[in-house]
């Protein structure tokens, strides 16, 4: 029902897949289905395996939420891909990641139903030194979609709709794409997700989604708001204007690039019809959510900085090229 690549040209990065088993059973009046997603970020694991586990679980559940799955009934799987467990540092990191999984499961109220692990992923270099791979945890998640006809995709559906950002933004550039790109990785920490607070926010967002108040939803993960908004825009082939000053934030952040690329967990960007804004505000009462922008017909993503000047203006064509070229470039 919902395929991994979405949008007009079927090439945008969807959050999760929705499967409708009754297409095969022939019970065409039964529209129950389920969604499958994942969360992964080895860059966080290099900094803090415990926080990686929390953040990956958070991302997997948010991905489910973005297609309209009932995350209060979600189940998780852990997939460890780890180095040499005879190395105390590697084993310690593995234990920390497992503790993160436990706390994430308890905090989100989602059980781990299975998993898989692959240890001893290491190579020995010419001098005989054992090199382990970066400890990587993939969290897979699945949850029921009560009515697959109400499922969502992440592409912008039309011009003139409001864009709402759900969740606080803090200065979370540790392990981020921004740091990888700019080469700054000093003593910063990986972002810390708060499962209990996130679970409450997700539940409220699910309420809004199931009422049909939201046109499209996408999670903020690698690359933060900037990448999230760009993906939604070029997949739906509509532009957007964003105002960074409107972002819900707790700590004092005075830099546009931090706001735009910070990877604080538990955040979502929602596209909402302007007529539904009041209903959305009611559904999200008590949750940090604010209108940060508007979709436009012009194929341009325009971001206004804290000083009121244009911080970023890029054509969707350029953004899409940048996004699509990254993988072939990495693979050489």
Partner 1 sequence: MKKPKVMVLRAAGTNCDLETANAFNLVGGTAQRVHMNLLRQGKAKLMDYDILALPGGFSYGHDAGAGKIWANQIKLHVKDLRNFVRMGRPVLGIGNGFQVLVKAGVLPAPHSHLPEQTAGFIANDSGRFEARWVHLRLNTQSSCLFFKGLPEMIELPVAHGEGKLVLKSPRQLEELKKNKSIAMQYVSDDGKLTGYPHNPNGSIFNIAALSNPEGNCLGMMPHPERYTTKHQHPNWTRQTFVKEGVGLELFRNAVEYCRS
Sites of contact with partner 1 (CB under 8 A): 1-3, 5-8, 10, 20, 23-26, 28, 148-149, 151-153, 155, 157, 216, 236
Residue 20 C-beta: closest distance to partner 1, Å: 7
Residue 6 C-beta: closest distance to partner 1, Å: 7
Tell me whether residue 25 or residue 252 sits nearer to partner 1 (CB atom).
Answer: 25
Residue 142 C-beta: closest distance to partner 1, Å: 19
Cα 214 from Cα 212, distance rounded (Å): 6
Residue 302 C-beta: closest distance to partner 1, Å: 23
Residue 297 C-beta: closest distance to partner 1, Å: 15
Tell me whether residue 104 or residue 145 sits nearer to partner 1 (CB atom).
Answer: 145
Cα 49 from Cα 184, distance rounded (Å): 20
Tell me whether residue 35 or residue 43 sits nearer to partner 1 (CB atom).
Answer: 35
Tell me whether residue 31 or residue 291 sits nearer to partner 1 (CB atom).
Answer: 31
Q: 154, 216 in Cβ contact below 8 A?
A: yes
**Among the listed residues 50, 126, 41, the one whose alpha carbon sits nearest the alpha carbon of residue 92:** 50
**Backbone phi, psi, residue 29, to 5°:** -85, -15
Query: In this structure, what token pair is assigned to residue 311?
Result: 């911080």
H-state helical runs in the chain: 22-25, 42-47, 49-66, 88-108, 177-182, 195-210, 224-236, 256-261, 277-283, 316-331
Q: 215, 157 in Cβ contact below 8 A?
A: yes
Tell me whether residue 31 or residue 122 sits nearer to partner 1 (CB atom).
Answer: 31
Q: Considering only the C-alpha atoms of the chain, give the largest distance between any 2 of them, rounded to a whole number of Å.
A: 67
């Amino acid at each position: 029902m919902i395929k991994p690549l979405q949008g007009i040209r079927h090439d945008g990065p969807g959050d999760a897949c929705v499967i409708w088993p009754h297409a095969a059973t022939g019970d065409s009046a039964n529209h129950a289905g389920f969604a499958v997603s994942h969360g992964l970020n080895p860059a966080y694991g290099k900094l803090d395996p415990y926080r990686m586990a929390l953040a990956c679980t958070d991302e997997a559940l948010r991905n489910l939420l973005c297609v309209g799955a009932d995350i209060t009934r979600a189940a998780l799987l852990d997939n460890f891909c780890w180095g040499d467990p005879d190395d105390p540092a590697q084993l310690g990191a593995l234990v920390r990641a497992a503790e993160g999984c436990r706390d994430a499961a308890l905090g989100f109220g989602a059980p781990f139903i299975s998993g898989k692990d692959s240890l001893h992923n290491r190579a020995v270099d010419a001098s005989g030194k054992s090199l382990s791979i970066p400890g990587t945890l993939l969290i897979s998640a699945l949850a029921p979609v009560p009515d697959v006809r109400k499922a969502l995709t992440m592409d912008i559906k039309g011009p003139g709709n409001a864009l709402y950002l759900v969740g606080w933004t803090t200065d979370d550039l540790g392990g981020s794409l921004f740091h990888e790109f700019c080469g700054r990785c000093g003593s910063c920490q990986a972002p810390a997700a708060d499962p209990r607070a996130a679970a409450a926010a997700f539940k409220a967002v699910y309420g809004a989604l199931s009422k049909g108040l939201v046109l499209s939803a996408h999670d903020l993960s690698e690359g933060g708001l900037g990448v999230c908004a760009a993906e939604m825009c070029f997949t739906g082939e509509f532009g957007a204007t964003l105002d960074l000053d409107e972002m819900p934030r707790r700590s004092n952040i005075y830099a546009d690039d931090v706001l735009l690329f910070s990877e604080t967990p538990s955040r979502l960007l929602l596209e909402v019809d302007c007529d539904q804004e009041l209903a959305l505000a009611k559904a999200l009462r008590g949750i940090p959510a604010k209108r940060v922008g508007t979709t436009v017909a012009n194929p341009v993503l325009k971001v206004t900085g804290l000083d009121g000047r244009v911080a970023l203006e890029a054509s969707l064509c350029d953004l899409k090229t940048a996004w699509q070229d990254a993988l072939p470039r990495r693979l050489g």
